[in-house]
Amino acid sequence: MITKKMLACEESRLDRMNRFQFPNYAKKIGYAVALMAFLAGIINRRTVEVELLTQLSRIFMVAGLLIVSLSKEVIEDELIKTLRAYSFKLSFVISILMGLLMPVTNYLADLVIKQKSEGLIGEGEFFVLLMLVIMQLTYFNLLMRYHNEK
Amino acid sequence: MKNKLKIQRAIFELTQEELAYKIGVSRQTINSMEKGKYVPSTALALKLSNLFETTVNEIFELEEGD
């Protein structure tokens, strides 16, 4: 009984998280944030070169694009939802593949030019990739469990 | 999956835009369905069948391999 209640609660929370989207106007805000962060990053690099500003511009650029990606279209119908799901799936797979392949090419290039290499995969990249896979598998298994429930 | 959406739309003299508005989707969705690029959900198929006053089977037809 308690397990069932917990499952139902978890399901509704996941459902809310899954359905969450910013309104359509947030897309413009997201683009503006990303563009401003990009320009700030360029200006910073060509003038003062403050490390904190570089980091902040990167954070705001990614955050801005995330807002765009989570914003509704003008008419958010089932086709758009399907396409969004496909795009998330594709981007997930391609990100993992790029994350795995890029360090390998860097490693090979470092071997050729005999520089000290970071190894086949950097620590930061490793945790991002690991997180992506673990999160996807966890959510997929949770959702499968809800749909298999009798 | 084959469909007779375009024919039904012609019978009812509706544009893609008008049909889209009536069932609450975008014109692109109607276009994709007519071209067979997108298979609608059961809910959307039922909305279409209600609008065209026919059965879902009259509009949508399974193809070999579906």
Whether residue A55 contacts residue A71, with contact meaning beta carbons closer than 8 Å, is answered with no
Nearest residue in chain B measured CA to CA from A73: B26
Burial of B65 (0-12, 13-18, 19+ CB in 10 A): exposed
Position B21 pLDDT exceeds 90: yes
Q: How many CA atoms lie within 13 A of A105 on its CB side?
A: 6
Q: Pull the structure tokens for residue A1.
A: 């009984």
Position B55 pLDDT exceeds 70: yes
Q: So where are chain B's domains?
A: 2-61
What average pLDDT does the structure give for chain B? 92
Whether residue A13 contacts residue A5, with contact meaning beta carbons closer than 8 Å, is answered with no
Nearest residue in chain B measured CA to CA from A80: B29
Position A121 pLDDT exceeds 70: no
Q: What is the pLDDT of residue A61?
A: 85
**Complex-level ipTM:** 0.85
Q: Is the dihedral of CA B8, B10, B13, B19 positive or negative?
A: positive
Position A150 pLDDT exceeds 60: no
Q: What is the pLDDT of residue A110?
A: 76
Q: What is the pLDDT of residue A140?
A: 66
Task: Give the CA-trace dihedral at A22, A137, A94, A53, to 10 degrees.
Answer: 50
Q: What is the pLDDT of residue A55?
A: 82
Q: Note the pLDDT tens digit of each residue in A49-59.
A: 888 888 888 88
A24 in reach of chain B (CB within 8 A): no
| Residues in B touching A82 (Cβ below 8 Å) | 38
pTM over 0.80: no
Q: Do A77 and B32 touch (CB under 8 A)?
A: no
A12 in reach of chain B (CB within 8 A): no
Q: Note the pLDDT tens digit of each residue in A6-53.
A: 777 877 888 888 788 899 999 999 999 999 999 998 998 888 888 888
What average pLDDT does the structure give for chain A? 80
Query: Which residue shows structure tokens 């579906």?
Result: B66
Lowest mean pLDDT among A26-30, A34-38, A73-77, A100-104: A100-104
Taking the C-alpha atoms of residue A67 and residue A60, their distance in angstroms, rounded to an integer, is 10
Q: Which residues of B have a CB under 8 Å from any CB of A? A: 24-26, 28-29, 32, 38, 40-41, 43-44
CATH number of B2-61: 1.10.260.40
Q: Which of A73, A78, A81, A82 to mutate: most B Cβ within 10 Å?
A: A78
Q: What is the pLDDT of residue A127?
A: 67
Taking the C-alpha atoms of residue B17 and residue B12, their distance in angstroms, rounded to an integer, is 13
